[in-house]
Amino acid sequence: MNIVDIIEKKKRGTKLLKEEIDFFVQGYSDSVIPDYQISALLMAIWFNGMDSEETTELTLAMVKSGKILDLFQIKGIKVDKHSSGGVADTVSLPLVALVATNGVPVAKMSGRGLGYSGGTIDKLEAIPNFRVEIPIEEFIDHVNRNGGAIVAQSNDLVVADKKLYALRDVTGTVDSIPLIAASIMSKKIAAGSDAVLLDIKVGNGAFIKNLEDAKRLAKIMVDIGTLAGRETVAYITDMNQPLGDAIGNSIEVEEVVEVLKGNGGKRLVRVIEVLGGEMLRLGGKVQNETEGRHKIKEAIHNGTGLKKFKTIIQAQGGDANIIEDFSLLPQARFKIPVFASESGYISAIKAEAIGRLAVSLGAGRTKKDEKIDLAVGILFPKKVGGFIERNEKIALILASDAEEGNRAAKSFLNCVELKKEQVKPLSLFYYRISKEEIKKLSDE
């Protein structure tokens, strides 16, 4: 078998066979096939795509390139969750605690942020002494004792994905739907959970910009999970504005605590309730997602979710005193308010631009191994449809450098568009996709 023949075949838009996919994935994982040839193949895939069968075979080949976790020692139906990424998507941390406190084990392996989409592991590292890298035996023990644990993805899982993603990042092929689907699902399958919940973000602050592409991606990923023997459900949710109020690492941990204390923003809390309810259904604790949603709400209001989050922090060596004293988290040196230059209703928010502003402050990374500043970020509680007054403080820039902070504050106003007439709030949910159906959702 010859890699050039495979490149030529996909360049012409011809379907690749399982054996050909296995060949190039294993060859690249073993460093037998060079970057320049795989780059050509990735671009051919970007232009000509892959069908569901090809994408599934690519996913399974990537799974076989590394270790597969065996979590049989964890009692119960283990449910994993993945978001395709966005701005102020502070969902995973409170969700793990709320689902775990309702009796569904969550053995979550998460990644670091790259670009404007924040990473769960970066947020956890804002908590003093929190250990994100622990032996697998300890990870399993934490889940059995506490119901949940969150750790950094093991380096020996899905070796092919790490190499392919790094290459996609520098060849302009990150936004290929089959490559996105295979990347995400290979990690979910290798991580060993029994069921998978997917939160596919769509909009100007997401990697997927239009609804039809988001539906296609979700359907492919659900098909892959189903074929791999995992019950998989996907929700398509809005990312045309930041989901929560905080964009950063330390400040997103603060927001997690506020959510679990019952003080979270309406849109963020709603996503947590709905996704949490679905995870409880997948875990066999409730008959349907509506019943599960009520249990998630209860866990917020009665404080058991907050108590579980404290337990998870302590189990992984973190300082749980941050729950009552945010000053123990990394703090920005400069706090620069942003004031509205005119009055009006917010008609649009450029979420990606706000995310990139946070990166420019140091809250995210532009290179894989770049060090980030856990203290900096942006607080922005306003949403589309809200009214703001001229000279009203609408955002707060948290910076370690005054010049960078002032520059971000001046740029921020370009991220918010106003109209004089009233504007309807944006939808939050679009579709729920399972192996049985594609269901259009409302914001009831």
What's the burial of 288, exposed, middle or buried (CB within 10 Å: 0-12/13-18/19+)? exposed
- Quote the strand ranges of 177-245, DSSP E: 195-202, 231-238
| CA–CA distances in Å: residue 10 to residues 7, 66, 138, 424 | 5, 25, 44, 45
Q: Which two tokens stand for residue 246?
A: 């905080």
DSSP state of 114: B
Distance CA(358)–CA(242), nearest Å, equals: 12
Place of tokens 């250990």: 131
Pair 121, 96: CB distance under 8 Å: no
How far is Cα of residue 22 from the mean position of the Cα atoms in its chain?
28
* 183 catalytic per annotation: yes
| CA–CA distances in Å: residue 16 to residues 4, 5, 217, 396 | 13, 11, 19, 51
Catalytic-role residue among 81, 168, 188, 350 = 168
Pair 323, 347: CB distance under 8 Å: no
Handedness of CA 242, 246, 249, 252 (dihedral sign): negative
Distance CA(245)–CA(207), nearest Å, equals: 20
* 238 catalytic per annotation: no
Catalytic-role residue among 65, 83, 110, 183 = 183
Catalytic-role residue among 10, 123, 187, 281 = 187
Helix (H) or strand (E) run with residue 17 in it = none
Catalytic-role residue among 89, 122, 161, 245 = 161
Helix (H) or strand (E) run with residue 349 in it = strand 344-349
| Phi, psi at 330, each rounded to 5° | -55, 135
Is beta strand 231-238 parallel, antiparallel or unpaired with respect to 429-433? antiparallel
Q: Which of 271, 321, 310, 286 is nearest to 147 (CA)?
A: 310
Helix axes of 304-315 and 289-301: crossing angle, nearest 10 degrees:
80
* 168 catalytic per annotation: yes
Question: In one letter, which amino acid is 155?
Answer: N
The H-assigned helical ranges of 191-249 are 211-227
Active site members: 82, 161, 168, 183, 187
